[in-house]
Amino acid sequence: MIKIKTCLALFAILIVFQAGAQLNSTNLYVPINDSTAKVKKGFSSEHKQIRLYYIKAKPSLSREFRNMGNYTTLESAIKQKKIKVTEMGEGGSVNELRFGNFSKDTILVSMGDVVKGGQQDRVIEKDTLIAPGKTIVISVYCVEHGRWSAGNSGGAFNTYHGNIENSIRKSIVKEKSQSAVWKKVDQYNQGNGTTNSTGTYTAVTQSANYNSQVNEYKNVFMKELATDSTIVGVLAVTGDRIIGCDIYATPQLFRSNAGNVLNSYISEAIYEGKPVTISDAEVAKYLNNLLASEARQDKVLETNGRTLKSHGKKIKITAFDK
């Protein structure tokens, strides 16, 4: 009997532990009021062709991750020379790069991060944590099909470009095809008037119009985000559709990545966005499906998103529209 009671007690503790670590409605405040189907005050903002819906941490989530350390973004790591990103030897490999973390920080390399240099510019295939002092190989896709030669940086990647336009990020997850990524990059450059000799995605920042629009959107939204320290995620919409949703385990982790996540959303809206017409009810339906339960969330993300875990706990989820 004592053994049975002990087992039941341990099982109950395990359930509580797992519930506390989940990035779902148990631990997150959603932006839409269930009874009115309207957006709660302070849970959204809109500028031109983008509306953001904010997802906020409940006290239970904050307690669960209160001792989680800080993660350094790839952008910061490259700028501070804490990481070395290189080709795989002299010959290189189109779909792999070597990442060496020479710092005491844990570095978060995000799916969609674009690095410039080496034999050709690349985009990261999946979210990855690199422990202090470790060197690992990470899967990538090429975003510059017309070049296979080292520039002044040799086989190194010394420049962080930003997080790639969201429809390309989605293609990485759903199509899992190098040719599909190249096709998307070509279409994106054509749409932005930045077609170039090597076909690199990074040429988009040579467009003054693109840079002006990105900066305008980011200035508006980053100011809004700075006013609330409980935000851990955003869902972005344009026209009558959902662009995507990114949620993190802590406000700090979200804030350190928010600029680049927004860059991905904004880039898609600049390319093919429209004035927002999607209803709050449609957004609520999407979030209810994504955040209802751990089991349901895993099923959605299996084919329509990505999950990053640390020590068995989800610390980031990314979801796209259908």
pLDDT over threshold 60, residue 6:
no
What Cα–Cα distance (Å) separates residue 254 from each residue in 226, 232, 317? 11, 5, 11
**What are 260-297's pLDDT values in tens digits?**
999 999 999 999 999 999 999 999 999 999 999 999 99
Exposed (0-12), middle (13-18) or buried (19+): which is 104, by Cβ within 10 Å? Answer: exposed
pLDDT band at 18, cuts 50/70/90?
very low
Q: What is the mean pLDDT of the chain?
A: 93
Q: Which of 13-27, 98-112, 204-218, 233-247 has the lowest mean pLDDT?
A: 13-27
Task: Give the pLDDT band of residue 5 (cuts 50, 70, 90).
Answer: very low
pLDDT above 70 (res 11): no
What is the average pLDDT across 206-225? 97
Is the pLDDT at 307 greater than 50? The verdict is yes
> Is residue 38 over pLDDT 60?
yes
| pLDDT tens profile 46-59 | 999 999 999 999 99
Could you tell me which residue, 183 or 13, shows the higher pLDDT?
A: 183
Q: What average pLDDT does this structure show over 308-315?
A: 96
- Residue ranges of the alpha helices (H) in the chain? 2-20, 59-64, 74-79, 166-174, 178-192, 208-225, 251-272, 280-291, 294-304
DSSP symbols for 71-99? EEEHHHHHHTT-EEEE-STTT--TTEEEE
The rounded percent of the chain whose pLDDT value lies above 70 is: 93
Using 50, 70 and 90 to split pLDDT, how confident is the model at 12? Answer: very low
Q: Which tokens is 191 given?
A: 């749409």
pLDDT band per the 50, 70, 90 thresholds, residue 92? confident
Domain spans of the chain? 28-320
What pLDDT was estimated at residue 1?
A: 53
What pTM was computed for the model? 0.92
Read off the pLDDT band of 90 (50, 70, 90).
confident
Whether 138 shows a pLDDT value over 60: the answer reads yes
The Cα diameter of the chain in Å comes to 75
Quick one: pLDDT at residue 13?
39
Q: Can you read off the two tokens belonging to residue 271?
A: 């390319």
CB distance 31 to 43 below 8 Å: yes
pLDDT in tens, 19-34: 457 999 999 999 999 8
- List b or e across 166-192, with b for residues whose CB sees 16 or more CB atoms inside 10 angstroms: bbbbbbbbeeeebeebbebbeebbeeb
Confidence class for position 150, pLDDT limits 50, 70, 90: confident
Task: Quickly state the pLDDT bin for 223 (edges 50, 70, 90).
Answer: very high
Query: Is the per-residue pLDDT at 10 higher than 50?
Result: no
Mean pLDDT of 109-136: 98
Question: pLDDT category, 2, cuts 50, 70, 90?
Answer: low
Separation of alpha carbons 64 and 72, rounded Å: 20
Average pLDDT of the segment spanning 86-106? 94
